[in-house]
Structure 1
Amino acid sequence: RPGQVIPSLTERELSAAGSVHLQNRVTVDGDIRNVFIEGNQVVIEYVHQVS
């Protein structure tokens, strides 16, 4: 339930039918090598250098 997870939706009334368009941004601590979609998941493959 997005209304329980996404702070901007917690105070809105979600009982009416319709669509809500959302955008997510993530930062990774490495170099992105590949991004792909599996069903409703976005998978980000990246390389992180360890010292």
Structure 2
Amino acid sequence: CGGGFPIRLQTGELVAVALASGLPDIKDHGFLVDCLAGHLGVEAPAIDL
């Protein structure tokens, strides 16, 4: 299926949607989180499953 989530401004305005597909859903989501965190220079917390 893929993983994804909305990209919103601090005001809550929706400005984009990030999507990835090709891996199991949770790995697609993790890929997006890692890429965006790297781009923003922040550390994203890990999710224990």
TM-score bucket (shorter structure): under 0.3
If each structure's helix is expressed as a fraction of its own residues, which one has the higher value? 2
Report the TM-score, using the length of structure 2 for normalisation. Answer: 0.25
Q: Which has the larger radius of gyration?
A: 1
Report the TM-score, using the length of structure 1 for normalisation. Answer: 0.24
**Which protein, 1 or 2, shows the higher relative CO under an 8 Å CA cutoff with sep ≥ 6?**
2
